[in-house]
Amino acid sequence: MKRHLISAADLSRCDAVLILDTAEELASLADRPIKKLPTLRGRTVVNLFYEDSTRTRISFEAAAKRLSADVINFSAKGSSVAKGESLKDTALTLEAMGADAVIIRHGASGAAHRLAGWVQGSVLNAGDGTHEHPTQALLDAFTIRRRLRGTGAAGARGAGLDGLRVTIVGDVLHSRVARSNVLLLSTLGAEVTLAAPPTLLPLAVGSWPCAVSYDLDSELSKSDVVMMLRVQQERMTAAYFPSVREYSRRYGLDAERMARLPGHAIVMHPGPMNRGVEIAAEVADSVRSTIVEQVANGVTTRMAVLYLLLGGTEFPATGEAR
């Protein structure tokens, strides 16, 4: 049966824990002289990126290669897309070339869902517009579990994120990372709060499984995790706040605010960062920061997803793609 990962909502708690546990097992590869497994030998994985990316594209490529898959990197720039070729025709071309999995990033929300209806292989959503970015949420959950629940079979294996309080701060309106994190972290048992100005919250945020606050300072002392979001000015078509300086004063995480966090709390950011806007340089470089760790965990987590989707190991029945 054809399987995809389009949304974090496609994953049950069992599915998510299975992926995190598999990632925990695969993490040991990083310490080996040869960082490869033969699991996907003979399989072809296509990175179909219509938007610029550093971390996501390279980590998916590294993940597939460490599982011995053949990787084809497609960029819209310099391709027939520039001549007007549609997403469907591009998808059918890749299908004819024998792609077993297509990893897509696209500027239009819902592009991954449409693509899944056109190809026979698996489709992994690497970010579609302002909709979702499920593998980013998975690597964030993996990072949180490792930091706050322990590492290895004796520590984190089989565990969710029950009881942890996660505060996601910033431009939620334009963030696909925020939506996926709210869905996945709540599925894993975490209590999620969005802290943002009203103009940077979606209209339907009341239907999301999370709380909403307009006051970041009131949430800091009770947060186990603070996840900062980049202000996505490239997606903004109006003035959503008076000035960058005013936004940073109200919703930026500086050293003073970081000092109010509990001693065990961690600071996260999906990247790329705007230092001095949503996060101060001293916070980004502090021991509480997991930003570089998230990048390393991204490779491991995406290896786990590819391994489970293409390696012949089935998700539980509740996790079949929809």
Does the pLDDT value for residue 30 go beyond 90? no
Section 156-176 average pLDDT: 92
Does the pLDDT value for residue 54 go beyond 80? yes
Residues 154 and 281 in one domain: yes
In DSSP notation, 10-46 reads: G--HHHHHHHHHHHHHHGGGGGSSS---STTTT-EEE
CA dist., res. 300 & res. 20, Å (int): 9
Structural domain for 93, as ranges: 8-133+295-319
pLDDT of residue 51: 86
pLDDT digits (tens, 9 = 90+) for 195-239: 999 999 999 999 999 999 999 999 999 999 999 999 887 666 666
Record the tokens describing residue 44, joined without a space.
């072809």
Section 169-186 average pLDDT: 95
Does the pLDDT value for residue 317 go beyond 70? no
pLDDT of residue 91: 87
Residues 159 and 231 in one domain: yes
Does the pLDDT value for residue 153 go beyond 70? no
Residues 129 and 140 in one domain: no
Q: Tokens 């910033």 label which residue?
A: 170
CA dist., res. 287 & res. 47, Å (int): 33
Number of domains in the chain: 2
Pairing of strands 211-213, 191-195: parallel
Q: Tell me the percentage of the chain whose pLDDT exceeds 70.
A: 92
Q: Is residue 2 part of a domain?
A: no
Record the tokens describing residue 156, joined without a space.
């984190």
CA dist., res. 91 & res. 102, Å (int): 9
Residues 59 and 129 in one domain: yes
Q: Is residue 167 part of a domain?
A: yes
pLDDT grade for 109, boundaries at 50, 70 and 90: very high
Section 102-127 average pLDDT: 94
Tell me how many degrees the CA angle 175-178-184 measures, rounded to the nearest 5.
145
Residues 38 and 156 in one domain: no
Residues 77 and 183 in one domain: no
Q: Tell me the percentage of the chain whose pLDDT exceeds 90.
A: 71
pLDDT of residue 28: 82
Q: Is residue 34 part of a domain?
A: yes
Q: Is residue 3 part of a domain?
A: no
Q: Mean pLDDT for the chain?
A: 89
CA–CA distances in Å: residue 27 to residues 146, 159, 289: 11, 17, 20
pLDDT of residue 152: 53
The answer to whether residues 185 and 158 touch, using CB atoms and an 8 Å cutoff, is no
Q: Is residue 263 part of a domain?
A: yes
The answer to whether residues 275 and 112 touch, using CB atoms and an 8 Å cutoff, is no
Length of the chain: 322
Residues 93 and 140 in one domain: no
Q: Is residue 146 part of a domain?
A: yes
Query: Exposed (0-12), middle (13-18) or buried (19+): which is 41, by Cβ within 10 Å?
Result: exposed
Instruction: Write the CB contacts of 320 (distance below 8 Å, at least 6 apart in sequence).
Output: 1, 3
Does the pLDDT value for residue 179 go beyond 90? yes
Does the pLDDT value for residue 70 go beyond 60? yes
CA–CA distances in Å: residue 97 to residues 44, 48, 129: 9, 14, 26
Q: Is residue 161 part of a domain?
A: yes
pLDDT of residue 83: 77
pLDDT of residue 81: 79
CA dist., res. 65 & res. 43, Å (int): 10
CA dist., res. 191 & res. 264, Å (int): 17
Residues 308 and 228 in one domain: no
Residues 145 and 261 in one domain: yes
Residues 129 and 108 in one domain: yes
Section 49-57 average pLDDT: 89
Does the pLDDT value for residue 255 go beyond 80? yes
pLDDT of residue 319: 40
Residues 299 and 267 in one domain: no
Number of H helices, E strands in the chain: 11, 9
Q: Tokens 């390696």 label which residue?
A: 311
Residues 267 and 310 in one domain: no
pLDDT of residue 32: 83
* Other Cβ atoms within 10 Å of 195 Cβ, number: 27
pLDDT of residue 313: 54
Does the pLDDT value for residue 308 go beyond 50? yes
Q: Is residue 195 part of a domain?
A: yes
Domain with residue 92: its CATH number is 3.40.50.1370
pLDDT grade for 151, boundaries at 50, 70 and 90: low
